[in-house]
Amino acid sequence: MKIATYNVNSLRKRLPVVLGWLEQQQPDVLCLQETKVQDTEFPALALASTGYHTIFRGMKSYNGVAMLSRVIPDEICFGLDDGQDPDEARLVRAVINGITIINTYIPNGFKLDSPKYVYKLEWYKRLRVYFDKHLSPDRPVVWCGDMNVAPEPVDVHSPEKHLQHVCFHELARNAYKETVAWGFVDVFRKLYPDRQQFTFWDYLRPNSLDANKGWRIDHILATASLAERCTKVEVDIEPRRAAGSSDHTFLWAEFAL
């Protein structure tokens, strides 16, 4: 089973990229983040023409998540289900081929002294509670998406320069790791313990892709028994090279079921 994730940074702008990648790579599941489109304007027909079933939750100009599947998803849920402040179209969960898949777009945090950074840290705590409430580490579960955290120094270029960045700051990394400790394994890092491989290259840094000055902030994680069945993980850099691309690219993993 091939599961992919991609921060599309506006689905309507990047729809040809997504359609082309689906045709070329044929994943069983594709999780999208930052779709940036209201549900009433979601390009459902265009995606349905590819043969994929799509579930989505969006909002105008910001955030938004979607999940595309070759088979009809079961047990579809949205949001953190905790009765607190709205989670801003950042989480969708479904069961596909017997595997529970959670697709998240974690808040960026903006700046360390911003309320948005506090919100990011709290969101991770809420997510850990969500896992406790709805899931079990003993079951086959995949958690993927844009986590907005580079977990280790190898996951960011020039790490010594980014210690105060909201995606590499100690508190953000700890919040991420505490959530992972619920029972997840980073399948990329399991297969490639030391490899430096990025998934995001900033628009604001000229030639960041050619210079390979990026971040690994998009992740696919699985519960232990499922992680043992992960046979391949790849980052497809080519879509990032295209004109008008997202600042992220596709990450995918294969599981022998």
Distance CA 223, CA 96 (A): 15
- Ramachandran region of residue 166, left (φ > 0), alpha (ψ -120 to 50) or beta? alpha
Q: Is 176 a catalytic residue?
A: no
Verify whether residue 62 is a known catalytic residue: no
Residue 40 makes CB contacts below 8 A (sequence gap 6+) with none
Among 105, 117, 124, 176, the one annotated catalytic: 105
- Rounded Cα–Cα distance for residues 99 and 30 (Å): 14
Selected catalytic residue, list 28, 87, 146, 155: 146
Helix-then-strand count for the chain, H and E:
7, 12
Determine the Cα angle at 69 with ends 64 and 70, to 5°: 160
Cα separation, 199 vs 146, whole angstroms: 10
Give the separation between CA 150 and CA 159, rounded to whole angstroms: 10
Rounded CA-CA distance 248/237 in Å is 9
CA distance 115 to 239: 34
Q: Among candidates 129, 111, 144, 141, which has minimal Cα distance to 30?
A: 144
Q: Which residues are catalytic?
A: 105, 146
